[in-house]
Amino acid sequence: MGYAFINVSTQYINLEDDKEEIFVDCELGGSCRLNIYYSDLQLSLRAEIPGDAFPQWRAVKDGARTLRERWMVR
């Protein structure tokens, strides 16, 4: 059985404050892969979440930023 892919974006999308860019690739009825680049932190995150959890992608993005900022050595 083959897979059907829904490519939500074919390029990175700049988010509100230009500090983050996101690329999303979802499989129909499957998982979604997120590539998030935090330009101000010079950090790239790759994550895979269940397709039905896609509405929580912002929580993943924000949680990763919070974690990195708390671990940052100053």
Convert the pLDDT of each residue in 34-67 to its tens digit: 898 888 888 888 999 898 888 888 898 899 889 8
**Average pLDDT, rounded, for the chain:** 78
Can you tell me the mean pLDDT for 1-21? 59
Per-residue CA distances from 44 to 17, 19, 22, 30, 38 (Å): 17, 12, 10, 23, 6
Which one of 17-21, 25-29, 62-66 scores highest in mean pLDDT? 62-66
Select the more confidently predicted residue: 14 or 10. Answer: 14
Cα-flanking dihedrals φ and ψ of residue 34, to 5°?
-115, 130
* pLDDT given for residue 21 in this prediction: 85
